[in-house]
Amino acid sequence: MITLKSIALGLGLMVLSAHAADLSGTWRIDTAKRGGVVTHTYFVLQQKGRVLTGKVVINGAVDLPLRNPKIEGSDATFSMDWGNSYRVHPEGNTLKVAIRWGTTKTEATAIRVPQAEANPPPSQMLPAMAVVRANGLAATPPMGWSSWNHFGDGIDDADVRGIADALAGSGLAKAGYVYVNIDDGWEGGRDAAGNIVPNAKFPNMKALADYVHSRGLKLGLYSSPGPLTCGGYEGSFGHEDQDARTFASWGVDYLKYDWCSAARVYSDADLEQAYQWMGQALARCGRPIVYSLCEYGMRDVWTWGPRVGANLWRTAGDIQDNWRSMSEIGFDQSRLAPYAGPGHWNDPDMLEVGNGGMTATEYRTHFSLWCMLAAPLILGNDVRTMAPDTLAMLSNREVIAIDQDPLGRQGRRVASSGGIEVWTKPLADGGEAVAVFNRNDREAAGSFTWAQVGFAARPGHVRDLWAKRDLAPAGEGLAQRIPAHGMWMLRLGR
């Protein structure tokens, strides 16, 4: 018997059936980048009725599962871990895609492609485990500038020359900031001989290196052990020695090597060998090149980084320009102090000072904490247009000296109570750097005793490094009111 209920149920099944075939498949969005490079993002989707599953392959480099997928009529919405959210609408063999990232909204068209197109290339045989001889570089934590935090992959030749001029002209170079590092977005592909070439934004990398060197600075580049970089540009997979020789021929002084698409061709267990391969390649390329690993702290990199020839290694995920991100990363570093030293440094990521997401007090805490950590000081702001107070902060020679102290010891937490933390860092002259941090959202009293910071008696000398004045040591220690998210940094002499 045909009833209204059965008719309604049948119509519902017809709708679900119509929807079921709409989104299943592999879809590609092509994005034209400045410099003539086209990157590809894939949606690999499976739809069963009103249930949608799958993944997004961002820039062909990073596989991220769908978050909160929903079927809404003929459309679908989902997000993923990098913060992007999508609404897709099927139109024949295409998807109309609305993309939101933060407050930014864009639209794109995705075309249906064979599923195999979204797959990574086959893996390659990794070298046998071996220890790469130390290169003798980075006796103190590297200092310089990197393009990513401010420019993303939009950096070009003119920007880099302008940054080099600003570092040299502002006094930052004399303060120690000598590396000018081009992060993702410079790569163009490979020539007929397999040599990596820059894209149109960088017409002559050798000439650019020569210009940077003429300003008394050094040039850094970025690549990946995977087929593609995080941004979808050419990686060094299968060309490790060839790329190391090319970098050396251009005059490169620093290489940041970012895991990203390597996760699509290697397992996490291959991490050390994949990084060792480039470490070996740099060791035989004929030029001293600082080797920076970017692997987000996976597999306790601080325990094996020196073995692969690395001078520094990331200990956490990407920093963001806000108090929560900076403080969560920075204050988690104390446990890693035993692994830092001359030639091999823990890297909590680049500095955000001057990018606008934190207050001046928070930026001063950020900078001071990184110096207490003996962290690489890699600026991430636009040094061509920074405010005078930002320049003054980044140029504080007395604070920089704590970071660059030749003993090479990383600071550590020695006391913590009620949101107040006391950190110490041993110095080559027998003294101690002391920083008292207020992690609270309100002003609070910060204090320490001489015994807490390693002194059996009063120190012979106390210097406030931000006030730039000497203090008279008295009693059993010192105390001071500290603003919310602020700090108090001292140098104590015996």
Phi, psi of 48 (to 5 degrees): -125, 105
The pTM assigned to this predicted structure is: 0.94
What is the per-residue pLDDT for 1?
44
Amino acid identity of residue 354, one-letter, is G
Three-class HEC string of 359-421: CHHHHHHHHHHHHHCCCCEEECCCCCCCCHHHHHHHCCHHHHHHHCCCCCCCCEEEEEECCEE
What is the per-residue pLDDT for 103?
87
Domains of the chain: 21-115 (2.40.128.20), 143-403 (3.20.20.70), 412-493 (2.60.40.1180)
What is the per-residue pLDDT for 8?
38
Query: What burial class does residue 257 get, using C-beta atoms within 10 Å of its C-beta: 0-12 exposed, 13-18 middle, 19+ buried?
Result: buried
What is the per-residue pLDDT for 82?
83
> Shortest CA distance to 263 belongs to which of 302, 232, 228, 238?
228
What is the per-residue pLDDT for 422?
98
Rounded (5°) CA angle 400-403-405? 100
Q: Evaluate whether 447 touches 479 at the Cβ level (below 8 Å).
A: yes
Residue matched to tokens 């002084």: 253
Q: Give the separation between CA 369 and CA 356, rounded to whole angstroms.
A: 18
DSSP character for 344?
B
> How does pLDDT run across 34-50, given as a tens digit for each residue?
999 999 999 999 999 99
Catalytic residues, by residue number, are: 258, 318
What is the per-residue pLDDT for 102?
85
Q: What is the mean pLDDT of each run of 10 residues along the chain (494 residues)?
A: 41 39 90 97 95 96 96 93 92 94 93 96 95 98 98 98 98 98 98 98 98 98 98 98 98 98 96 98 98 98 98 97 98 98 98 98 98 98 98 98 98 98 98 98 98 95 97 93 98 96
Residue 111's CB: how many other CB atoms inside 10 A?
Answer: 12
What is the per-residue pLDDT for 22?
80
Taking each helix axis from N to C end, the angle separating 157-170 and 205-214, rounded to the nearest 10 degrees, works out to 10
> How does pLDDT run across 316-367, given as a tens digit for each residue?
999 999 999 999 999 999 999 999 999 999 999 999 999 999 999 999 999 9
> How does pLDDT run across 245-295, given as a tens digit for each residue?
999 999 999 999 999 999 999 999 999 999 999 999 999 999 999 999 999
What is the per-residue pLDDT for 4?
38
Q: Which two tokens stand for residue 440?
A: 């609270």
